[in-house]
């Protein structure tokens, strides 16, 4: 189970956000996406968080890639700590498709352009403990 936490803050800009889309497309294209294989979730964050899709939303790679190619850009501030808290509470849970209880590794990939405006340490520790 892999959840991408994507920085959609204003400092990214539309040109670089297109590069993020291309990077994500290439990365996901290498996975065997299926309900019983690799599951992908995505949250975009800035000073708010938005679930783009959960681990149990897309059943195949084609659907994930189509969403990534159209991923809308948010803009706003950079609150990475809040983003980490959000994926812990909203993505890495059974109702969103997490298979943690089945001992499937839970992986968070954070894609950001730099310094967070909030304290990331406690949120990162909480996520790591889970």
Select from 3.30.300.100, 3.40.50.2300, 3.40.50.410, 3.40.50.970 the CATH code of 2-129: 3.40.50.410
- Torsion region of 53: left, alpha or beta (phi above 0 gives left; psi -120 to 50 gives alpha): beta
Q: Are 45 and 79 in contact (CB under 8 A)?
A: yes
Q: What is the largest CA-CA distance in the chain?
A: 40
Q: What is the pTM of this model?
A: 0.95
Q: Where are the domains of the chain?
A: 2-129
Q: Where are the alpha helices (DSSP H) in the chain?
A: 13-29, 61-69, 80-90, 121-129
Q: What is the pLDDT along the chain (130 residues), one digit of tens a residue?
A: 999 999 999 999 999 999 999 999 999 999 999 999 999 999 999 999 999 999 999 999 999 999 999 999 999 999 999 999 999 999 999 999 999 999 999 999 999 998 899 999 999 999 999 8
């Amino acid at each position: 189970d892999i959840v991408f936490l994507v920085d959609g803050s204003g400092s990214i800009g539309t040109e670089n956000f297109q590069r993020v889309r291309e990077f994500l497309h290439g990365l996901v294209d290498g996975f065997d996406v299926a309900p019983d294989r690799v599951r992908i979730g995505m949250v975009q964050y800035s000073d708010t968080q938005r679930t783009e899709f959960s681990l149990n939303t897309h059943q195949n790679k084609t659907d994930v890639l189509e969403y990534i190619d159209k991923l809308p850009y948010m803009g706003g501030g950079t609150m990475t700590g809040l983003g980490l808290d959000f994926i812990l509470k909203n993505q890495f849970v059974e109702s969103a498709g997490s298979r943690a209880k089945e001992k499937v590794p839970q992986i968070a990939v954070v894609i950001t352009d730099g310094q967070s405006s909030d304290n990331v340490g406690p949120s990162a520790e909480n996520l790591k403990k889970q």
